[in-house]
Structure 1
Amino acid sequence: MWFAIVLSALAMTGIVAARYALASGAFALATSRRRPGLYDRLGKQIGREIRWSLVSAAIYGIPAGVVAWGWQERGWTRIYTEWTALPLWYLPVSLLIYLFAHDSWFYWTHRLMHRPRLFRIAHAVHHASRPPTAWAAMSFHPIEAVTGAVVIPLLVFLVPVHVAVLALVLTIMTVMGVTNHMGWEMFPARFVHSPLGKWLITASHHHVHHQAYNCNYGLYFRFWDRLCQTDRGLSAP
């Protein structure tokens, strides 16, 4: 049993690391073509971001591997595979539940990471990315990585989710994590300033956080920032 759990954890670590490398690499390549020279003087910073991110990949992969083993071998979790197991209308609802729950967890743990002691010990690693790059999405101190690694594994024990919806949640998490750190806005202004765009976080919003530190804490949505009056608007990265 323990050997199988270890293998599952190693496999998930490899998957998380590969997902990070592919997503960050793809958007870094897009940056080199759309914004030539933007990362030219950031070689040392990018190297540091990659090293921390690979450590984070292991921290994310271990609980994910344990949960994946438990789901497959013991029937743990509330992940389901049959499309008809729950009403089809629940699919988009579960997606929104997961994204909102993850966003809420991220907002409050992120604010906690900005307390002076935790910032010095852990979160300063992430904020060493000035300006952030496409490689910075998982550049966390292990303490901070743990706070991010537990939320989805905990949710799958509490909230039913189809495996395809879970895969979509992980894809959105990866893509938004990378694109929010690219250092430039990839979405057109008409979307960013649209009624929908005004509630979503993109690079223009998160870039302000890396400049001012004490604002724009969210991950997907601007809901908590607006409710708690920590939203400082957009930059023009």
Structure 2
Amino acid sequence: MPSDFNIINALNYLAQLPALLLWLIFLMENIMITILVLFFGKIIHQKYSEAPFVPYHYVAREWKICAWTNILNTVVTYAGFKLWEHGYVIIGIDISLIIITDFLLLFIAMDFLMFIFHYCIHQTFLYKIVHQLHHQAINPKPIDLFILHPLETISFGALWLILLTLFHFNIYSVVIYLIINVVFGLTGHLGIEPLPVKVRSLPLIKYLGTSSFHHNHHLKEEYNFGFYTSIWDRLFGTFKS
């Protein structure tokens, strides 16, 4: 189909660009994601925050860490592209039900891998060295999605790249997953809960990682280690509503 051909053409075109330009493109992509997270975080905060409304405030130190996270995310993006270019990452381009199944596999697999990684960090010396930086935010705000120790940023990126090299996924599933990943990252660091209790109690929604779910993790660090769902916390006894 033409759309499939265009995707492959775009990837092949990028492969022909000078390395420096490719780095710049991927850096701008990550900066744009950050801008969108901060922008929509502000909009949601203004709309759903309880009175009195107190706007988000970001300090210079947070901007510096956020900048480094963007650079490291660019490294991960570049590495993933090179793995594809050299045949280590294989992507499908069919438009079929495989898009849904591949997305669900990515969603559940990454949720499980990040749960295990997140839990292990909290139980070892790595917490003080690596993860404590993120937990300085008791009441998270959107920029805290990017307030990570460099080792943590690279580790999460490595999990993602390892999964892509071990299994073949559809390109559309990958794109959908990456968008959903950012949405959940923003949701978990709003510092407020935009969803009413009735919605959060719905059969499927109650198992998702809502803003309250991750906010509770920042308040009580021994609970809620999941990212997209509360499934693993419920199974392993670390869930707190």
Equivalent runs, 1:52-201 vs 2, <5 Å: 52-71=65-84, 73-83=85-95, 88-115=96-123, 117-201=125-209
Residue 37 of structure 1, CA deviation: 5.6
2:64 match: 51
Going from structure 1 to structure 2, the CA distance change for 1:187 and 1:75 (only over 3 Å counts) comes to same
| Structure 1 residue identity aligned to 2:183 | V
Residue aligned with 1:150, SS: helix
TM-score by length of 2: 0.84
- Counterparts in 2 of 1:168 and 1:190: CA distance versus 1, 3 Å: same
Secondary structure of the corresponding residue to residue 26 of structure 1: helix
- Post-superposition Cα deviations, 1:4-42, rounded to whole Å, max 9, x if no partner, equal 445434422321221122122221232134326654474
CA distance 1:30–1:18, shift in 2 (3 Å)? same
Q: Relative to structure 2, which stretch is displaced further, 222-231 or 110-119?
A: 110-119
Return the alpha-carbon distance in structure 2 between the equivalents of residues 175 and 37 of structure 1: 26
Give deviations 1:163-202, integer Å, cap 9, x for gaps: 2211110000001101111011122322211111121110
Alignment check: 8 A CA contact 2:130 2:151 kept: yes
TM-superposed deviation, 1:114: 1.2
Aligned mate of 2:216, from 208, 226, 230: 208
Mapped to 2, the partners of 1:7 and 1:108 lie a distance apart of 36
* Unmatched segments (≥5 aa) in structure 2: 1-14
1:80-128 per-residue CA deviation (whole Å, 9 max, x = no partner) reads 2243xxxx22221110111111111111111122135212111111011
1:17 partner letter: I
Identical-pair percentage: 23
Deviation at 1:156, TM superposition (A): 1.9
Cα distance between partner residues in 2 of 1:122 and 1:165: 31
- For 1:156 and 1:6, the matched residues in 2 are separated by 24
Judging changes above 3 Å, is the alpha-carbon distance between structure 1 residues 102 and 50 closer, same or farther for their aligned structure 2 residues? farther
**Superposition deviation, residue 63 in structure 1:** 2.5
Amino acid at match of 1:78: I
Which range moves more in the overlay, 210-219 or 25-34?
Answer: 25-34
* CA distance in structure 2 between the aligned counterparts of 1:179 and 1:130, rounded to whole angstroms: 15
Given that 1:10 and 1:62 are in contact with CA atoms closer than 8 Å, whether structure 2 keeps it comes out as no
Match of 1:32 in 2: 46
Is the 1:5–1:66 contact (alpha carbons within 8 Å) kept by the matching residues of 2? no
In the alignment of these two chains, the number of paired residues is: 226
Counterpart of 1:210, as a letter, is: H
Give the RMSD, CA atoms, in angstroms: 2.3
Amino acid at match of 1:12: F
